Structure 1
Amino acid sequence: MVKNNHQEDANSLRNHVKVSEITSHDRRSNLTPTKRTIATPSKFNSQIALSPSLLESRIASPRKHKLGISSPKKTPAKKRIAPSAAKPSLVDPDFNPLEETQRILRLRISQVNKPPVISGYEKERKQLYDLMKRTATTGESNSLLLIGPRGCGKSMLIQRVVEDLHSDVAVKENVQLVQLTGLLQTDDKLALREITRQLKLENTVGDRVFRSFAETLQFLIEALKKGDQASKPIVFILDEFDLFAQHKNQTLLYNLFDVSQSAQTPICVIGVTCRLDVVELLEKRVKSRFSHRQLYLFNKLTLSQYRDLCRSYLTLCSDFPDQDFADTWNKNIQCLLGEVSVKDILERQFSLTNDVRGLITLLTYPICQVNAAHPRVTAADVVTSFKLISTDTKSAMLHGVSTLELCLIIAMKHLTDIYDGEPFNFEMVYSEYQKFAQRRSGMQVYEKPVVMKAYEHLQTLELIKSHAGGGGAQVQKEYKLMSLLVHPSQILDAIQKYPGCPTEIKQWASQSIC
């Protein structure tokens, strides 16, 4: 009987505790755990022995829900932290995609020799790569001239072949590269100093005195055979090769070609030039040691490839940190290149010059305009850029001359038409100007010294120049023969755009041109 009473009392206590917990949880009580109480009737104290640890956990520790969640007071804080911990951000919060886009695009247009897409020249690229690789791997000495017009991609091709060689670890560790340019190394002494620096042989040369350039060069080559650099091949790339041919006695070229023809340190000499007659500039002794291997390059870009190259300069790569921004940017570029005005400008630029540098010049202004206030490249930017690079400087200069100077230019053009391009002097121009001023009663007639000052100012602006055989210093300046450097179409264009140009002058200009 007592046992049954004890079980009933225990069940009653257990149910009372559960009800207390659920009620407290539903109300979201703000009481601290220590203020929460458990109903334990005094009549049960002498009959039920509660575990001290259980009682302490009920009073001191925060209660937990059935699913294991802590007390209601701490639940909201964990719910706020959980989402950020579950999905960590892959993008730096301080990352600015627009600034990164600016950096990437400006870096592209600054690296002229490394366009994003290389098209054509696959055959020439393989031929040049095989030549340099044979020098690096088998020790075969060679010499070659890379010839082509400016802007056709000679330096770009050399740069890509060098990158291909460096991508091969075995070749990279077995070859040394020396790059010289005739624009900087204007004589053989400067060239030798640069060779010493690039081969890192300053300590080897030291303060030694050599009797000749050939002895110095031979000493440097022999130094390469010692120590860790034994028999290491060297690739010499001579940019602006025709300028090296103008050095006294062509000593540098003679020694380099002589080493390439002998059984000494294996070297490969590659000359880059835009002159088709460069071989004729070589002396007989230099020409006899040259292998006469020549590689000609001509710009093979088509209009479609030209547009693709423009797209590759403006689009972002797939590894851009913010891919959503990159996708939006690339879609805008795709729409930009599809606009009629942009297509027309690319066609006109391609017809003028299809080299890569001309395209970079066209894209420089639109790329530099990208900022927070102007976050994308627009067709108006491309149109403005084309107008800037295609501006006629002579016509633009005529926009800033005075009305008197403009009248003198028209008088010169009129004289050139009358005398079929023959030179003129100041007296002839002044006489023609007076005839026009007398026919127009409303025109102001300037005195001869004032007109002479305007005439001299045009000569300072290089709109006219002294004619060859005009008499020199012995002839008075009023009778010195001059030639006009402005085309008739430029004069007409300047007059049409001249601010506030009188109607009489416009009519006179039209009569003189017709």
Structure 2
Amino acid sequence: MKGKKSRSSGGRFSEVDKKDECINPVSKTQEILKLRLSRNHIPSEIFGRQEEKRHLKDLIRRTGLFGESNSVLIIGPRGNGKSALVQKVLVELGEEEDIHTNLLQVHLNGLLQTDDKIALKEITRQLQLENTVGDRVFGSFAETLQFLLEALKSGNQSSKPILFILDEFDLFAQHRNQTLLYNLFDVAQSAQAPICVVGITCRLDVLELLEKRVKSRFSHRQIYLFSNMTFEDYVMLFKELLKLEDDFPDRRFQSDWNKSIEELSEAQSVVDMLKRQFSFSQDVCALKQLLFLPVCNLNEMDVPRLKPAMFVESMKISTSDSKSAMLHGVSILELCLIIAMKHLTDIFEGEPFNFEMVYNEYRKFAQRHSSMQVFHKAVVLKAFEHLVALELVKPVEGGSTKIQKEYRLMSLLLHNTQIMDALQKYPQCPTDVRNWATLSIS
């Protein structure tokens, strides 16, 4: 068939081989980096987590090799590498033949498995026991789980060890009666079957969420991950996320690309950008988000290499104030109302205000300036309600809903600096309005 020629005995290459040789290295690089930045990339090394990795790896290995049941919680703020640590441990253990063939894995997420019934179905699916369960009806969650564990027993009546990974562990604690957690911890504690339960959570007070009966069956093993990354580690991570592996098809391009990344990491503007991001947040996901836009802008014709200016621009976009940006799209009338609220907040030192107060401030300003149109009160109220809908203004909590909307207490969700910054960038902002914002009303 045409287009399906294979390599002949004379050494001719097929059309597919020729196509592979003609791969655009820039497009291929962009594809690889996009996948690396948008998915759960497992780094070649977990910086500063050697002791925690050794501890977790040892717990899971003992379950896989000796059938020893365990339970452990990995606790730490978001972006500190909890999931990456677990994935790295699983990859390394997967290279050990005895564990790779013997240890079953079940991955659950509190955002997806929102109740125990859904979680049980997911456990059944991942263990591939749908046909075994069939149309059976069970009396309780514990009975169903026990049946699943029994179904995994081999001919010598020994169960295969199972690793349960519970991401967003604190959300499982919100399930009714915490049935899933109770039964998993109970199986692990009583050694009914060899299982290892690993919970991942960002809630430092997660143990306070557990019921007494659940807490009594938990091993109380906890691995805390707090940020101990140095700036040098952060720069190393930056380079690792952007460098190409040795298996890249075009070795010459790979060498040149990695050399350019080394030079990029030493550019002063990039170093300053990384220092600013590092001081603000050491979240790895935030760093990936920062790198994603420059990678997306790669182009063989115009931008075949990453440049420092691309990262500076990405930093500006990622740190832009969303509320200030929203102010660029409001009408002049709405902008005047925001300035009136700013003045009221300054006069009354942060105390809440109502629409009537805002309207009086706006009317006094509009009547003093002949260039400003004085809108009817109903129109101004509509503009005020639009600002509430945009969540730039919000009703005071605890206020009565029976009060007329004109007199309902409100608070401004914008800082003075945000308002002044938006005024400087507002397209064709009237001078009178800008000057009014800078006035101090006594």
Q: TM-score, normalised by structure 1?
A: 0.79
- Please name the residue that 1:146 is paired with: 74
Please state if 1:378 is matched with 2:307. Answer: yes
Question: What amino acid sits opposite 1:500 in the alignment?
Answer: Q
Please state if 1:442 is matched with 2:362. Answer: no
- Please name the residue that 1:74 is paired with: none
**In the TM superposition, what is the alpha-carbon distance from 1:282 to its structure 2 partner?**
1.4
Instruction: Measure, in 2, the Cα distance between the counterparts of 1:229 and 1:242.
Output: 34
Please state if 1:258 is matched with 2:191. Answer: no
**In the TM superposition, what is the alpha-carbon distance from 1:244 to its structure 2 partner?**
1.2
Instruction: Measure, in 1, the Cα distance between the counterparts of 2:397 and 2:187.
Output: 49
Which secondary structure state, in structure 1, belongs to the residue aligned with residue 56 of structure 2? helix
Match for residue 49 of structure 2 among 121, 125, 134: 121
Question: What amino acid sits opposite 1:384 in the alignment?
Answer: E
**In the TM superposition, what is the alpha-carbon distance from 1:499 to its structure 2 partner?**
1.4
Which structure exhibits the higher relative contact order, with contacts defined as CA atoms closer than 8 Å and separated by 6 or more residues? 2
Instruction: Measure, in 1, the Cα distance between the counterparts of 2:373 and 2:118.
Output: 62
Please state if 1:288 is matched with 2:216. Answer: yes
1:226-241 correspondence runs (5 A): 226-227=154-155, 230-241=158-169
Instruction: Measure, in 1, the Cα distance between the counterparts of 2:221 and 2:47.
Output: 24
**In the TM superposition, what is the alpha-carbon distance from 1:350 to its structure 2 partner?**
1.0
Higher mean displacement: 124-133 or 136-145: 136-145
CA separation of 1:354/1:471 partners in 2, compared to 1, >3 Å: closer, same or farther?
Answer: same
- Please name the residue that 2:3 is paired with: none
Query: What is the root-mean-square deviation of aligned Cα atoms in Å?
Result: 2.1
- Please name the residue that 1:212 is paired with: 140
1:59-78 correspondence runs (5 A): none
1:279-318 correspondence runs (5 A): 279-318=207-246
- Please name the residue that 1:496 is paired with: 424
CA separation of 1:311/1:207 partners in 2, compared to 1, >3 Å: closer, same or farther?
Answer: same
**In the TM superposition, what is the alpha-carbon distance from 1:150 to its structure 2 partner?**
0.8
Unaligned runs of 5+ in 1: 1-83
Instruction: Measure, in 2, the Cα distance between the counterparts of 1:442 and 1:195.
Output: 69
Instruction: Measure, in 2, the Cα distance between the counterparts of 1:292 and 1:249.
Output: 20
Which secondary structure state, in structure 2, belongs to the residue aligned with residue 173 of structure 1? helix
- Please name the residue that 2:4 is paired with: none
**In the TM superposition, what is the alpha-carbon distance from 1:228 to its structure 2 partner?**
8.2
**In the TM superposition, what is the alpha-carbon distance from 1:480 to its structure 2 partner?**
1.7
- Please name the residue that 2:30 is paired with: 102
Instruction: Measure, in 1, the Cα distance between the counterparts of 2:21 and 2:160.
Output: 50
Alignment coverage as a number of residue pairs: 427
Contact 2:340 2:361 survives alignment (8 Å): yes
Contact 1:366 1:382 survives alignment (8 Å): yes
**In the TM superposition, what is the alpha-carbon distance from 1:471 to its structure 2 partner?**
3.0
Instruction: Measure, in 2, the Cα distance between the counterparts of 1:251 and 1:455.
Output: 48
Instruction: Measure, in 1, the Cα distance between the counterparts of 2:41 and 2:195.
Output: 24
Which secondary structure state, in structure 1, belongs to the residue aligned with residue 123 of structure 2? helix
Deviations 1:429-477 (A, max 9, x none): 11111222233333332232222222122122111111224331x3222
Instruction: Measure, in 1, the Cα distance between the counterparts of 2:20 and 2:66.
Output: 49
Instruction: Measure, in 2, the Cα distance between the counterparts of 1:143 and 1:487.
Output: 47
- Please name the residue that 1:66 is paired with: none
Match for residue 225 of structure 1 among 147, 150, 153: 153
Question: What amino acid sits opposite 2:221 in the alignment?
Answer: R
Contact 1:112 1:357 survives alignment (8 Å): no
Instruction: Measure, in 2, the Cα distance between the counterparts of 1:330 and 1:91.
Output: 25
- Please name the residue that 2:381 is paired with: 452
**In the TM superposition, what is the alpha-carbon distance from 1:117 to its structure 2 partner?**
4.2
Instruction: Measure, in 2, the Cα distance between the counterparts of 1:468 and 1:504.
Output: 34
Which secondary structure state, in structure 1, belongs to the residue aligned with residue 233 of structure 2? helix
Contact 2:182 2:217 survives alignment (8 Å): yes
**In the TM superposition, what is the alpha-carbon distance from 1:242 to its structure 2 partner?**
1.1
- Please name the residue that 1:327 is paired with: 255
Deviations 1:345-398 (A, max 9, x none): 111111111111010000000001112232111222112211111110111111
Instruction: Measure, in 1, the Cα distance between the counterparts of 2:414 and 2:112.
Output: 35
Instruction: Measure, in 2, the Cα distance between the counterparts of 1:279 and 1:482.
Output: 38
Question: What amino acid sits opposite 2:408 in the alignment?
Answer: K
- Please name the residue that 2:120 is paired with: 192
CA separation of 1:302/1:387 partners in 2, compared to 1, >3 Å: closer, same or farther?
Answer: same
Higher mean displacement: 114-123 or 197-206: 114-123
Please state if 1:393 is matched with 2:322. Answer: yes
Unaligned runs of 5+ in 2: 1-11
Instruction: Measure, in 1, the Cα distance between the counterparts of 2:93 and 2:157.
Output: 18
**In the TM superposition, what is the alpha-carbon distance from 1:509 to its structure 2 partner?**
0.9
**In the TM superposition, what is the alpha-carbon distance from 1:229 to its structure 2 partner?**
8.2
Instruction: Measure, in 2, the Cα distance between the counterparts of 1:210 and 1:190.
Output: 15
- Please name the residue that 1:73 is paired with: none
CA separation of 1:349/1:229 partners in 2, compared to 1, >3 Å: closer, same or farther?
Answer: farther
CA separation of 1:326/1:513 partners in 2, compared to 1, >3 Å: closer, same or farther?
Answer: farther
- Please name the residue that 2:84 is paired with: 156
CA separation of 1:206/1:232 partners in 2, compared to 1, >3 Å: closer, same or farther?
Answer: same
Instruction: Measure, in 2, the Cα distance between the counterparts of 1:168 and 1:256.
Output: 26
Percentage of matched positions with identical amino acids: 62
Q: TM-score, normalised by structure 2?
A: 0.92
